[in-house]
């Protein structure tokens, strides 16, 4: 037996004690089946195209052989992997409750239970908004379990909760769930008074977006996917009727656009947004009228994006018209025509607005100010504006669920590399911040053991690129250390520091973690994003290389102790960078990597392809676009080169980045890599793009990656 006082202490295995990896049997070599392709007069052969044939038994057999080979190669690290799982599990907060939020006569919250993979969604009666009532545990017999996600999961490794919504009268709950890791969900309903699950069951909704109730408490709106999983329709379902009778309320025929929906905070309107990466068109529909038809605000205009929120008798409109990072207008509720708009806040190059939401007494604008995430509070009557951000520098900030239209404060959350997840609220009138709850620190956590640094690399064109580092407190700047560098740089998504107790399993072993904030992301608004997309996509890769070189030149790590990691579109970055500069890295982890870019973007039948044209371009439509994607597509540019050790991970049910992208990439690397270490591939057959969904199950996947990195970064 281990004494209780020692159970939570990590067992650190020094690099010098790690076993060597001896070559296992010869690695699997995928059969070469030449597949001829021709586009714009260009002809080429793809030898591993056949790995896309999911129904071919040889495909599954090859992937299983890859998994077996990986386990054989990493067998000496079995004890390390088990140790990593144990120490990460020991850092989990086994029992926890989220900060409740009010909706109607109830407080809603989620609760973690020791030993359970998933949360319980619960509610308790609302008494007041005072902190004492908000944070107090439910009185005996008062807690209602809205949904036990563990019961719903039934042990499925990829179970996914796709969002839920309670009816306006608080009696019914509608939610979406998925069991295979794809983006297709089933919509179900529960009577919260009896606990019974209603017979209404709707197949076809896509993505993790909650359904929306009309005010009659029996009409639901949801989005439906087409054959490529593009969200293209809004349907209206009335309880008790057959799902086949659900009325199509809105339909988007342009394959570049996807549809999403959300209710305004007032509950008066449903907003339907049809959006591409660069353009959107928004309609509103009265939730008071279950038979209402949507009304468009403005016809779509290429490159123009709007967001609307109703506040009292006015609409507030956030738009990029005439301001690349956005500006704010107002218009009468009964006349939102463009000629009725009055500017409230002009554009500002240092401020990038990204959302607008309205309470009865204030408008909230999500934004980044000089690269710092936060939000503005606008008093519509006084015209005053207050900026709110995290009290702690260097992390992410997000507005949280505050559904009551009459609320007096905006909920928000934040965290940093060394500060756990914190929930606070900002007074809508004064901007004063009140901390509601900081998630408990992991058992044994001592922030004095770590330090955070913020540095800037210089891109080839002189642009300063932020790099955030989480380091051991005694990490030397003499070139002897090790660093894992994360990168993403796509879709205008900001990659801000976050708190992860799992990372301490690396940092406690002397491996620092760094985030490269490269162009293509959204850290500094739309111009930062557009500097790394379409024809400027290679800027993302050269930015990441500049950050890597900055870390070695600045002594944060030795040249032979720098590893990289990237997931999804960050996996595209990984593949492109490895083709260009394989010498920079001692190892690389590519998680569900988007590496077969050219073939994917040439196949409009695949999920998400058509919606990605504005991000990467349409190579079938343009010879120029074809040429530029071909020039960087990682799979197409694997060459005879000494690649570092690579671990690629794929999900069999991944419909965003299909398993075959990683499988084809590794197959080609196996043949052309002249380095001493064959790449490794692991395919999770039960999961999709997000991997295992349970908080314990995911630890095995993380431990696999960490053990691989620890081994290759040792001295």
Does residue 25 sit within a domain?
no
Contacts of 592 (CB under 8 A, 6+ apart): 567, 568, 571, 649, 650, 651, 654, 656, 657, 662, 689, 691
478 and 351 belong to one structural domain: no
316 and 284 belong to one structural domain: no
Extended beta strands in 506-624, E state: 511-516, 562-567, 587-591
CA dist 77 → 482, 506, 586, 701 (Å): 19, 15, 18, 14
Which residue range is the domain that position 293 belongs to?
156-304
Domain boundary residue among 395, 413, 439? 439
260 and 315 belong to one structural domain: no
Q: Which two tokens stand for residue 255?
A: 């394959």
Give the mean model confidence (pLDDT) for residues 22-42.
90
CA dist 376 → 179, 319, 367, 368 (Å): 39, 16, 7, 10
| pLDDT at residue 11 in the model | 30
> Does the structure show a pLDDT above 80 at 5?
no
| pLDDT at residue 439 in the model | 94
Alpha carbon distance 112, 687 (integer Å): 22
Does residue 48 sit within a domain?
yes
Q: Which of 62, 200, 654, 712 is catalytic?
A: 654
552 and 519 belong to one structural domain: yes
Q: Which two tokens stand for residue 14?
A: 């020094």
Q: Which two tokens stand for residue 160?
A: 């996914």
Q: Which two tokens stand for residue 428?
A: 């809508």
> Does the structure show a pLDDT above 70 at 462?
yes
56 and 118 belong to one structural domain: no
Does residue 23 sit within a domain?
no
Does residue 12 sit within a domain?
no
> Is 5 annotated as catalytic?
no
> Does the structure show a pLDDT above 60 at 557?
yes
Q: What is the CATH number of the domain that holds 238?
A: 2.130.10.120
Does residue 227 sit within a domain?
yes
Contacts of 477 (CB under 8 A, 6+ apart): 554, 555, 556
> Is 56 annotated as catalytic?
no
Q: Under a CB-based contact definition with an 8 Å cutoff, are residues 653 and 687 in contact?
A: yes
Q: Which two tokens stand for residue 196?
A: 């019974």
Does residue 217 sit within a domain?
yes
> Does the structure show a pLDDT above 70 at 14?
no
Domain boundary residue among 288, 304, 320? 304
CA dist 445 → 88, 391, 419, 440 (Å): 12, 21, 11, 10
660 and 582 belong to one structural domain: yes
Q: What is the mean pLDDT of the chain?
A: 94
599 and 480 belong to one structural domain: yes
Does residue 15 sit within a domain?
no
> Is 568 annotated as catalytic?
yes
422 and 345 belong to one structural domain: yes
Q: Which two tokens stand for residue 702?
A: 């993380």
Interior/surface letters 320-355, b for 16+ CB within 10 angstroms, e for the rest: bbebebbbbbbbeeeebeeeebeebbebeeebbbbe
Structure-token match 């890295």, residue found: 585
Q: Under a CB-based contact definition with an 8 Å cutoff, are residues 609 and 601 in contact?
A: yes
Percent of the chain with pLDDT over 90: 91
pLDDT-based confidence at residue 714 (cuts at 50, 70, 90): confident
Chain centroid to CA 209: 14
Contacts of 194 (CB under 8 A, 6+ apart): none
Q: Which of 51, 85, 78 is nearest to 65 (CA)?
A: 51
561 and 675 belong to one structural domain: yes
Q: What is the CATH number of the domain that holds 51?
A: 3.40.50.1820
| pLDDT at residue 546 in the model | 98
| pLDDT at residue 213 in the model | 98
Does residue 2 sit within a domain?
no
256 and 353 belong to one structural domain: no
Q: Which of 306, 502, 689, 712 is catalytic?
A: 689
Domain boundary residue among 439, 468, 496? 439
Give the mean model confidence (pLDDT) for residues 369-395.
95
Give the mean model confidence (pLDDT) for residues 82-111.
96
| pLDDT at residue 18 in the model | 53
pLDDT digits (tens, 9 = 90+) for 210-235: 999 999 999 999 999 999 999 999 99
114 and 189 belong to one structural domain: no
Q: Which of 276, 568, 633, 693 is catalytic?
A: 568
> Does the structure show a pLDDT above 80 at 8?
no
Count up the domains in the chain and report the number.
4
Percent of the chain with pLDDT over 70: 97
Alpha carbon distance 384, 344 (integer Å): 10
| pLDDT at residue 3 in the model | 28
Q: Under a CB-based contact definition with an 8 Å cutoff, are residues 393 and 301 in contact?
A: no
Interior/surface letters 409-429, b for 16+ CB within 10 angstroms, e for the rest: bbbbbbbbbbbbbbbbbbbbe
Q: Which of 659, 686, 649 is nearest to 157 (CA)?
A: 686
Q: Under a CB-based contact definition with an 8 Å cutoff, are residues 668 and 643 in contact?
A: no
Interior/surface letters 146-156, b for 16+ CB within 10 angstroms, e for the rest: bbbbbebbeeb
pLDDT digits (tens, 9 = 90+) for 483-542: 999 999 999 999 999 999 999 999 999 999 999 999 999 999 999 999 999 999 999 999
Q: Under a CB-based contact definition with an 8 Å cutoff, are residues 311 and 378 in contact?
A: no
Give the mean model confidence (pLDDT) for residues 49-54.
97
287 and 182 belong to one structural domain: yes
What does the DSSP 8-state code read for residue 441? P
Q: Which two tokens stand for residue 7?
A: 């159970």
């Amino acid at each position: 037996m281990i004494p209780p006082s020692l159970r939570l202490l990590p067992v650190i295995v020094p690099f010098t004690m790690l076993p060597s990896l001896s070559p296992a049997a010869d690695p699997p070599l995928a059969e070469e089946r030449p597949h001829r392709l021709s586009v714009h007069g260009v002809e080429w052969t793809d030898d591993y195209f056949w790995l896309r044939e999911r129904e071919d038994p040889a495909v599954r057999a090859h992937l299983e052989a890859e998994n077996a080979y990986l386990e054989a190669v990493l067998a000496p690290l079995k004890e390390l992997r088990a140790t990593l799982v144990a120490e990460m599990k020991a850092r989990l907060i086994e029992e926890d409750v989220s900060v409740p939020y009010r909706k109607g006569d109830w407080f809603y919250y989620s609760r973690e239970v020791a030993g359970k993979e998933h949360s319980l969604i619960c509610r308790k009666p609302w008494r007041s908004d005072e902190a004492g009532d908000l944070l107090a545990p439910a009185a005996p017999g008062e807690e209602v379990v809205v949904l036990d996600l563990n019961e719903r999961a039934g042990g499925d490794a990829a179970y996914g909760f796709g969002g839920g919504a309670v009816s306006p009268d608080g009696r019914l709950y509608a939610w979406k769930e998925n069991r295979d890791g794809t983006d297709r969900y089933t919509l179900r309903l529960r009577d919260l008074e009896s606990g019974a699950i209603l017979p209404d069951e709707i197949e076809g909704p896509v993505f993790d977006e909650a359904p929306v109730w009309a005010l009659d408490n029996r009409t639901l709106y949801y989005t439906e996917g087409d054959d490529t999983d593009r969200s293209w329709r809004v349907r209206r379902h009335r309880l008790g009727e057959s799902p086949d009778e659900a009325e199509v309320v809105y339909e988007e025929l342009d394959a570049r656009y996807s549809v999403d929906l959300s209710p305004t905070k007032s509950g008066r309107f449903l907003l339907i947004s049809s959006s591409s990466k660069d353009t959107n068109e928004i309609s509103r529909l009265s939730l008071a009228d279950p038979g209402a038809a949507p009304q468009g605000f403005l016809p779509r205009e290429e490159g123009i994006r709007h967001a609307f929120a109703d506040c009292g008798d006015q609409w507030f409109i956030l738009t990029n018209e005439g301001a690349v990072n956005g500006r704010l207008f107002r218009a009468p509720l009964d006349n939102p025509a463009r000629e009725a708009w009055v500017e409230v806040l002009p554009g500002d190059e240092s401020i990038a607005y990204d959302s607008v939401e309205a309470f009865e007494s204030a408008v909230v604008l999500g934004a980044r100010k000089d690269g710092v995430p936060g939000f503005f509070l606008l008093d519509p009557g006084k015209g005053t504006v207050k900026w709110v951000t995290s009290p702690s520098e260097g992390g992410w900030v997000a507005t949280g669920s505050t559904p009551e239209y009459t609320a007096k404060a905006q909920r928000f959350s934040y965290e940093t590399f060394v500060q756990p997840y914190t929930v606070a609220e900002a007074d809508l009138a004064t901007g004063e911040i009140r901390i509601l709850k900081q998630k408990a620190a992991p058992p044994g956590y001592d922030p004095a053991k770590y330090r955070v640094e913020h540095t800037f690399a210089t891109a080839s064109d002189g642009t300063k690129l932020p790099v955030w580092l989480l380091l051991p407190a005694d990490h030397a700047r003499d070139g002897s250390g090790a660093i894992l560098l994360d990168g993403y740089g796509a879709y205008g998504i900001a990659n801000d520091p976050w708190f992860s107790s799992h990372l301490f399993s690396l940092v406690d072993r002397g491996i620092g973690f760094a985030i490269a904030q490269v162009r293509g992301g959204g850290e500094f608004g739309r111009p930062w994003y557009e500097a790394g997309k379409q024809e400027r996509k290679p800027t993302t890769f050269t930015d990441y290389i500049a950050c890597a070189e900055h870390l070695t030149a600045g002594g944060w790590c030795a040249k032979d102790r720098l590893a990289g990691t990237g997931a999804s579109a960050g996996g595209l970055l990984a593949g492109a960078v490895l083709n260009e500069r394989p010498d920079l890295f001692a190892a690389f982890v590519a998680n569900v990597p988007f590496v077969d870019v050219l073939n994917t973007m040439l196949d409009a039948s695949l999920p998400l392809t058509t919606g990605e044209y504005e991000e990467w371009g349409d190579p079938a439509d343009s010879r120029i676009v074809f040429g530029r994607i071909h020039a960087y597509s990682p799979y197409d540019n694997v060459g005879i080169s000494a690649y570092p050790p690579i671990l690629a991970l794929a999900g069999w049910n991944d419909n965003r980045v299909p398993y075959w992208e990683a499988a084809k990439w590794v197959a080609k690397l196996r043949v052309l890599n002249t380095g001493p270490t064959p790449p490794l591939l692991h395919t999770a057959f039960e999961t999709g793009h997000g991997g295992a969904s349970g908080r314990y199950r995911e630890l095995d996947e993380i431990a696999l990656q960490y053990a691989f990195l620890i081994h290759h970064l040792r001295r």
